[in-house]
Amino acid sequence: MPYILISTQIRMEVGPTMVGDEHSDPSLMNFLGATRRNVLGNNFSEYYVNDAPRVVLDKLESCGYRVVSMTGVGQTLVWCLHKE
């Protein structure tokens, strides 16, 4: 999987950070220390960590991922990363 999206809502200094969905690479999610959960009302699951986005970005950089783009959507921040 060469692409990954991570996001955080409202407070980017402390987390939690969403790091994947139900189709994410289990070994990468394990490396990040992510926990899989289903949020009430959603028909999908997501992976999250309690780390701040900066910590997650540092971990992903050490695996060879680079930020391609970043945007804000309301009170949510989203980063798109790519691994070559």
Number of domains in the chain: 1
- Residues 6 or more apart in contact with residue 64 via CB below 8 angstroms: 83, 84
| pLDDT tens by residue, 54-76 | 999 999 999 999 999 999 988 89
- Determine the 3-state secondary structure of 10 from DSSP: coil
Which residues form the domain of 33? 3-83
Query: What CATH number did the domain enclosing 36 receive?
Result: 3.30.1410.10
> pTM score, two decimals?
0.87
pLDDT of residue 33: 96
Q: Which of 43 and 81 is assigned the larger pLDDT?
A: 81
Sign of torsion over alpha carbons 35, 54, 4, 6: positive
